[in-house]
Structure 1
């Protein structure tokens, strides 16, 4: 996330929330997350209300067991499940091969992850989560930073709510109409906006890299001009 420009406005909208990696770099801002997946939305609601000591109290998953072995609520199980495999699109029930053999233990559910999450809770307490698709973020006239990380057009078919369900022409028009700063990230080969090369990053597959692209826009000047014209007409 460090390659994306910082927010230029006090409010950040993430219409495809996921792990909200961009907003977590700027937790002091007013943040509105929109998430269509009911499990992911439930995890965010859980995080917005839970206490740090409750996170610390969530136990480890036995390497030969599942999250069902833990006497915790469903939302906590889903949270843990997202940390049982790297870059998991959906909560898992059992530890992945990489977790079982102990590669990068800090990347999977355990003390380090619990400590990190618990330390962030108070900083995000003011955030808002909307369980709906991206169009529910519609806020006419609100100058904000819009960070759009939709399922990638080609590589996003493994999500429960996948790229196959998205009308990318409609999404492109929606992105162009956002008032304020707009940051749209994608993978090389996407053609629904005039993307530019951003970076090449490691993937969870050995030796594979993802070629990331981005589309940036700032509609602040246009919105101010439109508002001025509207006031003059009135």
Structure 2
């Protein structure tokens, strides 16, 4: 998939990331500030990184990786070595945040850093998709673009009230969100729905078919693997049902 000029590529691969979908499927931000209360890999904000981006994330590992990326120099990224097929992240002579960053690139779309390369990485399948020269160069070329970002280690409930912003809310899915370290089993979805309705500004909420905590509309049937599809739904605080028809477009995601 081609990169839209002015956007950034993902800094790490993460389960449920929205980078591929952010431009094609979701509305562009109408406010100068973007807030992602369930940040993960911040796929939406990467598409609009020049905005004032504020990330909130309950997983302390992901928060520490983001804090590292916001302050690290390009030369430090370029100095991180490759990981040999028989090595683990524990073999790296590096700080913990570096090990976590590399670990997130050892397996595609993992919900937490891995220590050992995946079978695909060991086999050399699509090497540009795993930790190595291409990934390292991409990250190094991008870190200066997120110096103004903020990241906070807290849940959505700690986000400030009455802030007019574009809120991109992508929680662990009610039905399918149990793969995270802090997954859907710890979320009161009725309370989350009320909280989403109370936000000021533009509110975009992501979910999967079967979710009931907001009146979601069909968005797209997304190809996730050669044989699997994800039926995505969404909710906007201001969409007009008459002018925003249900969609079930085919969006193929190449592996």
Fold in common (TM above 0.5): yes
Q: What is the alpha-carbon distance in structure 2 between the residues aligned to residue 176 and residue 17 of structure 1?
A: 19
1:53-64 mapped onto 2 (5 Å cutoff): 53-64=75-86
What is the CA distance between 1:173 and its match in structure 2?
A: 0.4
Q: What is the alpha-carbon distance in structure 2 between the residues aligned to residue 57 and residue 202 of structure 1?
A: 36
Structure 2: state its 5+ residue gaps.
Answer: 1-21, 240-255
Question: Given the superposition, is the C-alpha separation of residues 202 and 98 from structure 1 closer, same or farther in structure 2, using an over 3 Å criterion?
Answer: farther
Aligned to 1:212: 232
Q: What is the alpha-carbon distance in structure 1 between the residues aligned to residue 187 and residue 215 of structure 2?
A: 18
1:103-182 mapped onto 2 (5 Å cutoff): 103-140=125-162, 142-182=163-203
| Runs of 4+ residues deviating >4 angstroms | none
Structure 1: state its 5+ residue gaps.
Answer: 220-234
By percentage of residues, which structure has more helix?
A: 1
Aligned to 2:214: 193
Q: What is the alpha-carbon distance in structure 2 between the residues aligned to residue 121 and residue 83 of structure 1?
A: 17
Kept after mapping to 2: 8 A contact 1:196/1:213: yes
What is the CA distance between 1:68 and its match in structure 2?
A: 0.9
| Count of aligned pairs | 217
Question: Aligned-pair RMSD on alpha carbons?
Answer: 1.2
Aligned to 2:17: none
Q: What is the alpha-carbon distance in structure 1 between the residues aligned to residue 62 and residue 187 of structure 2?
A: 18
Task: Work out which of the two has the higher radius of gyration on C-alpha atoms and give 1 or 2.
Answer: 1
What is the CA distance between 1:135 and its match in structure 2?
A: 1.3
Kept after mapping to 2: 8 A contact 1:180/1:218: no
Deviations 1:77-122 (A, max 9, x none): 0011111111010000001111111222111111111122112211
Aligned to 2:9: none
Aligned to 1:15: 37
Q: TM-score, normalised by structure 1?
A: 0.90
The reply to whether residue 5 of structure 1 matches residue 46 of structure 2 is: no
